[in-house]
Amino acid sequence: MKALITIVMACLTVSLMAQEKPDYQSIADKIVNQSLDVKTGEVVVVTGTPAELELIEALVVEIAKAGGHYSVELDLPTANHRAIMETPIEYLEMVNPYPLMKARLVDCYISAGSVQDPTLFSDVPEEKLKASRSANMALRDAFNRAKFRAVYIGQTGGIPSESYANMMGMNYADMLNNFWKAIDTNYELMHIDSEVLKKYLAKGHEMTVSSEEGTMLTFRISDTGVRTNCGDCAKLSNDGGPTSAWLPAGEVYTCVEPQSANGLLVIPHYNYRGDVMTNLRISFKNGIITDLTADGKVDILMEALKSNPDDKNCLSIFDIGINRDRVYTKGSRYASWEMAGMLTFYIGDNTWAGGTVSSQFSMGVHAPFHTLKAGKTEIISKGEIVLLDDMADN
358-369 residue pLDDT tens: 988 889 999 999
Vertex 135, ends 130 and 140: CA angle to 5°?
A: 110
- Confirm or reject CATH 3.40.1830.10 for domain 23-153, answering yes or no: yes
Q: Residue 194 contacts by C-beta under 8 Å, 6 or more apart in sequence? A: 228, 230, 252, 322
User: Residue 377: which of 227, 252, 226, 208 has the closest Cα?
Assistant: 208
Mutual angle of helices 2-18 and 172-183, in 10-degree steps: 30
Judged by DSSP in three states, 124 sits in coil
Where would I find the beta strands (DSSP E) of 141-261?
149-153, 206-210, 216-229, 243-247, 251-256
| 77 and 49 Cβ atoms separated by less than 8 Å | yes
Dist. CA 370–CA 362, nearest whole Å:
22
Rg of the chain's alpha carbons, rounded to an integer? 21
Dist. CA 317–CA 221, nearest whole Å:
9
| 111 and 84 Cβ atoms separated by less than 8 Å | no
Judged by DSSP in three states, 217 sits in strand
| Positions of the chain with pLDDT lower than 50, given as ranges | 1-18, 238, 392-394
| Strand 315-321 relative to strand 251-256, pairing | antiparallel
| 56 and 113 Cβ atoms separated by less than 8 Å | no
| Domain ranges, ordered by start, for the chain | 23-153, 204-225+250-393
Dist. CA 339–CA 324, nearest whole Å:
7
Please tell me the pTM assigned to this model: 0.84
H or E element that contains 315: strand 315-321
Where would I find the beta strands (DSSP E) of 146-274?
149-153, 206-210, 216-229, 243-247, 251-256, 262-272
| 302 and 292 Cβ atoms separated by less than 8 Å | yes
| 183 and 22 Cβ atoms separated by less than 8 Å | no
